[in-house]
Amino acid sequence: MHLTCVVGARPNFMKIAPILEAARASANITPVLVHTGQHYDEKMSQLFFNDLGMPAPDCYMGIGSGSHAVQTAKVMIAFDELLDQQPTDVVLVVGDVNSTLACALVAVKRNIIVCHVEAGLRSGDRAMPEEINRILTDQVSDYLFTTERQALEHLEKEGVPESRVHFVGNVMIDTLFKHRERAKERTILNDLGAISKGYALVTLHRPSNVDTLESAQNTMAALQEVVNRHPVILPMHPRTKGKLQQFGLLDTVTGWKNVTVLEPQGYLDFLALMDNAQVVVTDSGGVQEETTALGVPCLTFRDNTERPITVTNGTNQLIGLSATRLATALDDLLSGKTQVSDRRPELWDGKAAPRIIEILERLFV
Ligand code: UD1
Ligand code: UDP
């Protein structure tokens, strides 16, 4: 079976790595990796191939940044042309970025089987670009692999038959378990003069938190509450850096005494930073899941989450977009009023990718 796997943006690399590894181990599957180039900076792309020990992509499309329409359309055209050359029985896409939807749509129109890994997550917020990508990708996919049981309810409500849905667990957590020990060898804490469990790690990049002056100022107010209580380590996403620069706020953040602003970090260094953090404050989807797997408290600075399992069966708290509520949550963690849950989501056991490959073999080989 010729399996074409797609990556485009940072969180895709951690999701595809274990799938590729399991596919390569199968005598019946010939996997090919296509990188759309949605993310292209060394620190948003190449670094992850090194850290995860992934071979270079078989094809790099070099699409780059643009509006949603431009980026999605460019990926579609390039992927369509690629599929003219590349023998493909199944296209496998992960997550919810523009590259995910674009490639799924191209494949289904060519009558190629589409598999979506991380299907059925819903934030209920259609203003979030990823929510549109999730809904549409799931609609055009033939086989849907889910990370939590509630995903099936969302899919059934949208008319997806249960027979096409497979609950397999979380491939991102496969990657986390595989690399956690290696991350412990990193020197990043020492290099930064940070103390284990003595700092807050912050990542913020959602358009709803940084794209307008008003939202960026609100995010800064929240950050100020973290800074008032903890030394802060802040690896900054290029979207956030660009927007803060545009609003004239970047120098204020980098000027705060208690904050270390970093470039986006590689996977192993970032994992070391998460594992040793006292608390993580984020709006990232993947980071909500990883902190739950690590047992590190996570405060999500958003109004909604497509990953409620990390709240009900993990360490995540949904704070909303309120600096005051964030301050209270930080105080409650510091005082011990909030206890960190030791529950973990079902099947987040490091074996999701082999389950997916086993199912693909059963279905198509
Ligand atoms: C994308 C995903 C988002 C995901 C995030 C992961 C969509 C709709 N959004 O958001 O779900 O959480 O990736 O990090 O697909 N830029 C660079 N260098 C890069 C990449 C981007 O400087 O290598 C800058 C550009 O100015 C670009 C901006 O970041 O315009 C945003 O990039 P884009 O890929 O459009 O969206 P993200 O915010 O990264
Ligand atoms: N991550 C990383 N370096 C960073 C920030 C995040 O390696 O500086 C990793 C993180 O551990 C997770 C993934 O990137 O595996 C999450 O990606 P991101 O937050 O960009 O996207 P989202 O999950 O919100 O779509």
Q: What is the CA(211)–ligand 2 centre distance, in A?
A: 18
Nearest protein Cα to ligand 2, atom 19: 284
Q: Is the CB of 219 under 6 A from ligand 1?
A: no
Q: How far apart are CA 34 and CA 5, in angstroms?
A: 6
In testing the pocket of ligand 2, which one of 101, 131, 182, 287 has its CB within 8 Å of the most ligand atoms? 287
Question: How much is the pLDDT for 140?
Answer: 98
Q: What is the DSSP string of 279-306?
A: EEEE--HHHHHHHHHHT--EEE-SS--S
Query: Average pLDDT of 9-35?
Result: 98
pLDDT over 90 (residue 126): yes
Q: What percent of the chain has pLDDT over 70?
A: 100
Q: Is the CB of 40 under 6 A from ligand 1?
A: yes
pLDDT over 90 (residue 117): yes
Asked if 318 contacts 304 with a C-beta cutoff of 8 angstroms, the reply is yes
Nearest protein Cα to ligand 1, atom 15: 97
pLDDT band at 269 (very low <50, low <70, confident <90, very high): very high
- Which amino acid would we find at residue 70? V
Can 2-169+348-364 and 180-335 be said to share one CATH topology?
yes
Q: What is the CA(172)–ligand 2 centre distance, in A?
A: 10
CATH number attached to the domain at 180-335: 3.40.50.2000
What is the side-by-side order of every strand in the sheet holding 113-117?
Answer: 59-60, 30-35, 2-7, 90-94, 113-117, 143-146, 165-167
pLDDT over 90 (residue 365): no
Q: How many residues does the chain have?
A: 365
Q: What is the mean pLDDT of the chain?
A: 98
Give 143's contacts (C-beta < 8 A, 6+ positions apart): 113, 114, 115, 116, 164, 166, 359, 360, 363
Domain range summary for the chain, segments of one domain joined by +:
2-169+348-364, 180-335
pLDDT band at 40 (very low <50, low <70, confident <90, very high): very high
Question: How much is the pLDDT for 28?
Answer: 96
Residues with CB under 6 A from ligand 2: 10-11, 14, 203, 235, 264-265, 267, 270, 284-287, 290
Residues annotated as catalytic (active site), given as ranges = 205
CATH superfamily of this structure's domain 2-169+348-364: Glycogen Phosphorylase B; (3.40.50.2000)
234-248 pLDDT, tens digit each: 999 999 999 999 999
